[in-house]
């Protein structure tokens, strides 16, 4: 309950714009995928949709926890989120789109959600040892890129947590809600971790009265 209240207090007009942008991107992407049948067009639509959703997810995080590299991080998160499908080509052992998009039942390895979970744990541990907030941020950035992609794909095949198995496929409503939930959970956890590790952070009041007033700059 405390989590929901503290999140609600932090959501400003910028957040709402990005939330609406994420919802529209997911809906339009899914609609276009149903409309087109050619592999090339479908591949471009799917990768672009993943990329935009990944980008917007980290954009939301940087609204609340920012540093001087925020704009590069937003771009990187979008690129990573769309590059995850590269494992289709690796699994197919072919550069041909037809082979990559029509794999047999076994899912390609980068679609295993245990990987981002391990990345998150590993980056937190490394950060604890080397005391670098960059490692922590990049770990969470990769987690966001992976999970925004996996959650969207879960609409068709569920989330896959090797060796435990897969969840049932998520409805469109559930996956969009989870995608929106992801960056705010990141903000909440990152703030907790950054303050636990004693990083110097200063509260800022955004120059825009329309945006949130509860972000922090990491210096």
Residues that bind Zn ion (CB under 5 A): 85, 153
Q: How far is the CB of 56 from Zn ion (least distance, A)?
A: 17
Q: How far is the CB of 149 from Zn ion (least distance, A)?
A: 6
CB closer to Zn ion out of 50 and 137: 50
CB closer to Zn ion out of 15 and 153: 153
CB closer to Zn ion out of 132 and 169: 169
CB closer to Zn ion out of 30 and 153: 153
Q: How far is the CB of 16 from Zn ion (least distance, A)?
A: 28
Alpha carbon 208 to chain centroid distance? 26
């Amino acid at each position: 309950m405390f989590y929901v209240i503290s999140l609600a207090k932090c959501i400003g007009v910028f957040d709402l714009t990005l939330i609406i942008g994420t919802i529209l991107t997911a809906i339009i992407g899914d609609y276009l995928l149903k409309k087109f049948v050619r592999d090339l067009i479908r591949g471009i639509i799917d990768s672009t949709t993943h990329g935009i959703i990944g980008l917007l997810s980290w954009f939301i995080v940087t609204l609340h926890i920012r540093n001087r590299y925020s704009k590069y991080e937003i771009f990187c998160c979008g690129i990573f989120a769309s590059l995850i499908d590269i494992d289709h080509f690796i699994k197919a052992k072919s550069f041909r789109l037809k082979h990559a998009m029509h794999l047999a039942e076994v899912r390609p390895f980068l679609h295993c959600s245990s990987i981002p979970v391990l990345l998150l744990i590993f980056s937190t541990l490394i950060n604890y040892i080397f005391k670098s907030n960059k490692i922590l941020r990049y770990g969470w950035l990769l987690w966001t890129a992976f999970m925004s992609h996996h959650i969207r794909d879960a609409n068709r095949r569920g989330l896959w947590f090797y060796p435990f198995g897969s969840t049932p496929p998520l409805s469109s409503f559930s996956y969009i809600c989870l995608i929106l939930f992801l960056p705010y959970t990141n903000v909440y956890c990152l703030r907790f971790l950054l303050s636990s590790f004693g990083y110097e952070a200063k509260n800022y009041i955004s120059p825009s009265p329309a945006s949130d007033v509860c972000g922090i700059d990491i210096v």
